[in-house]
Chains A and B, each alone.
Chain A
Amino acid sequence: MTGLLYRELKLNWVKMIGFAFGMMIYPVLFTVIFATDSGEMDIMTGRLSILMFGMAAFIAFLVGGVFQDAMFKDDERKKWAYYITSTPTGIKGYMGAKYLIALFWSMLTVTLLVLCNSIAADANLEIVDATAVYTAFFCIQLFLRAVEFPLMARFGGKTGKTVKIVILVALAMAGVVYFLFGDTSVFADMDSFWEKVISAVEDPASMKKLCFVASILMAAVLPLYYLSYRLSVKWYLKGAENYAR
């Protein structure tokens, strides 16, 4: 396993550095803007900073996700699949290394974002700590990988991604159908809609419930990631039959 992890690092280190720079451009940019802002920052701007850092985090996780996908489908060759199956570490170790690297990558993203946030907070005391937002993105990223990796293992990189896109398009279509034929009275008056949203956010009881639901979803992601690993292990050899080379 350690050897397989080393192999992943050795094969991907240029990609890793490149993607790390790519995903951190916006967070670093926002950090520099907030850290060098000479004017007094008011509380409202400080609160808005969480939106800016949230956007930067979204981009960082998006770019990081591309690396995770690329790393996962790097070895799509039949010879390699049969070879790794015959080793003592086997498919479990091979898939474990891939899943572990992807998990580490998400952790690294969170750590770098937290450090950027803290540099900005050092310069401007009103900057809000956005760790909760990063943790939420971390969970979303793991969820997406947990769905995507088994599909890529079963159908190969290209087809797996297509299957994922088909699922996403189907969900989007369901949304469109709902908006066309379902009950959309809540969106009829956008002013009252936003008022409802703001009052829900300001109401401690509804926020408490929202946080509780979010915490259940977040806690479910880690077992799901593990189950996804088990599924990928099970499907890997079936998927290897689909490889072009």
Chain B
Amino acid sequence: MPGKKKTLLRIALYLVFAYVPVYIICIALSDKQGGVRSAFAGGTLMLYPAIAVIITRLITREGFRGSFLGAGKRNSGKYYAAAVIYPIALPLVSGVLLHLFIVKNGSIGDSLFAGDGIITATQLLTAPVAAVALALHGLGEELGWRGYLTPKLEELMPTPAAVVVTGVIWALWHGPLLAYGYDFGRDYSFYPYGGFIAMIVMCIALSAFLTWLTKRTESVYPAALCHMIIDMTLAGELGMFAVKADGTPFEYRVSGFWVLILSVFPVIIVIGTVCMILLCSKKKAAAE
């Protein structure tokens, strides 16, 4: 019991340090459009979970053991490959879904993606490299969420529950931005609550995948890499499916909010569910 209390206190401390600066910046410097007015403040947001971990570990004197800072177990290469392939494939599959079910007046062949091979190839080649160059930002978040919060929650609850709780906390960490339309815009009838729900679902599913990567490799780097590539590629690549070769947007059967939900979420949820099952089965195998 005292152990659980100590873990709860550590989680609370971490959350205070991770949430407070981000909420202050996002509220004080909000551009009221889902972003922040200061490029510098915006650029530092992803680093606060890592800073929070460092401060928490120093205050609680728990040290940095179990921070998943090594490059990973032997044969981790396939998980690193998965960390790169998944975020690159995600917008591609989403783009196909977009054209299969949502676009009204055109086919995938009319899109910018298919229309200009050189631009598409350039985008596909550059994004992972840029993501590696800027991976410290991804590492900033993953050191906090997957490297600290999930393992701490696992001391209190089963892994799937820990993954779900991490996803919810991670989603709400974006709260002040979501309230102004971050990621999902304002073009839907139950704004801003729909954005919050969508973010929670997305973060839980991504949390499952990123936790699976972290656990299988015992390293936080694949998750950081994956996170950064998602951030760098999803909007850009999906955007190439969303417009025609001449730059004019397609007509959709639903509003912008639902375009995102119906095209991107199926892939994220399927992969997240598979990873959750894999996490559960590994737990069961370990218990047996």
Binary B-proximity of A115-138 (CB < 8 A = 1, otherwise 0): 100110110000000011011001
Q: Is the CB of B126 within 8 A of A111?
A: no
A127-164 interface with B by 8 A CB criterion: 131-132, 134-135, 138-139
Q: Does A196 contact B (CB under 8 A)?
A: no
Contacting B40 at CB < 8 Å: which of A96, A115, A132, A211?
A115
B121 within 8 A of A: yes
CA distance A209 to B250 in the complex (A): 27
**Interface pair B125/A107, CB less than 8 Å apart:** no
Beta-carbon contacts under 8 Å, B120-142 to A: 121-122, 125-126, 128-130, 132-137
- Are B129 and A2 closer than 8 Å at their CB atoms? no
Instruction: State which of B38, B69, B125, B135 has its C-beta within 8 Å of the C-beta of A219.
Output: B125
Contacts of B67 in A (CB 8 A): 2
Q: Contact at B132–A222, with CB atoms within 8 Å?
A: yes
**Residue of B whose beta carbon sits closest to that of A225:** B132
A100 at the interface (CB under 8 A from B): yes
Q: Is the CB of A215 within 8 A of B126?
A: yes
Bound together, the chains give a CA A12 to CA B81 distance in angstroms of: 31
Are the CB atoms of B129 and A118 closer together than 8 Å?
no
Q: Residues of B contacting A208 with CB < 8 Å? A: 118-119, 122
In contact, B130 and A212 (Cβ under 8 angstroms): no
- Chain A residues 209-240 with CB under 8 Å of chain B are 209, 211-212, 215-216, 218-219, 221-222
Report the minimum CB–CB distance from A39 to chain B (whole Å): 20
Instruction: Give A104 Cβ to nearest chain B Cβ, in Å.
Output: 8
Mark interface residues in A80-113 (1 if CB within 8 Å of B CB, else 0).
0000000000000000100010001011101100
In the complex, chain B residues whose CB is within 8 Å of the CB of A122: 38-40
A107 and B133 in contact, given A119-B40, A122-B40, A219-B128 (Cβ under 8 angstroms): yes
Q: Take A118-B39, A119-B40, A215-B121 as given contacts and tell me if A135 and B129 are in contact as well, using a CB distance cutoff of 8 Å.
A: yes
- The smallest C-beta distance from A55 to any residue of chain B, in angstroms, reads 19
A43 to B4, alpha carbons, bound, how many Å? 58
Given A118-B42, A122-B40, verify A111-B136 contact (CB < 8 Å): yes
Q: Is the CB of B134 within 8 A of A110?
A: yes
Given contacts A100-B71, A122-B39, is CB(A211)–CB(B122) below 8 Å?
A: yes
Contact A135–B38 (Cβ < 8 Å) = no
- Give Cα A150 to B211, complex, Å: 34
Q: Which of B58-111 touch A at CB < 8 Å? A: 64, 67, 69-71
- The answer to whether A215 touches B122 (Cβ under 8 A) is yes
B122 / chain A contacts, CB cutoff of 8 Å: 208, 211-212, 215
By a CB distance below 8 angstroms, the chain B residues around A121 are: 39-40
By a CB distance below 8 angstroms, the chain B residues around A216 are 125
Encode contact with A along B25-44: 1 for CB under 8 Å, 0 otherwise: 00000000000001110111
A114 to B126, Cβ gap below 8 A? Answer: no
User: Does the CB pair B119–A108 fall under 8 Å?
Assistant: no
Residue from A115, A131, A212 in contact with B118 in the complex, judged by beta carbons closer than 8 Å? A212
- Interface positions, chain B 186-224, Cβ under 8 Å from A, are none
Residues of A within 8 A of B130 (CB): 131-132, 135
For A4, the closest partner residue in chain B by CB is: B70
* Binary per-residue interface labels of chain B (10-51) against chain A in the complex, 1 for a CB within 8 Å, 0 otherwise: 000000000000000000000000000011101110000000
27 pairs, A vs B, C-beta closer than 8 Å: A2-B69, A106-B133, A107-B132, A107-B133, A110-B133, A110-B136, A118-B43, A119-B39, A121-B39, A121-B40, A122-B38, A131-B130, A132-B130, A138-B133, A139-B133, A208-B119, A209-B118, A211-B122, A212-B121, A215-B121, A215-B129, A216-B125, A218-B125, A218-B126, A218-B129, A219-B128, A219-B129
Enumerate the 9 nearest inter-chain pairs by beta-carbon distance, A residue then B residue, closest first: A118-B39, A1-B70, A215-B125, A2-B70, A219-B125, A118-B40, A138-B133, A215-B126, A215-B122
Q: A111-B134, A111-B137, A208-B118 are in contact. List 16 more A-B contacts (CB 8 A).
A: A2-B70, A100-B71, A104-B136, A108-B136, A110-B134, A111-B136, A114-B43, A114-B134, A122-B38, A122-B40, A212-B121, A212-B122, A215-B126, A218-B129, A219-B125, A222-B128
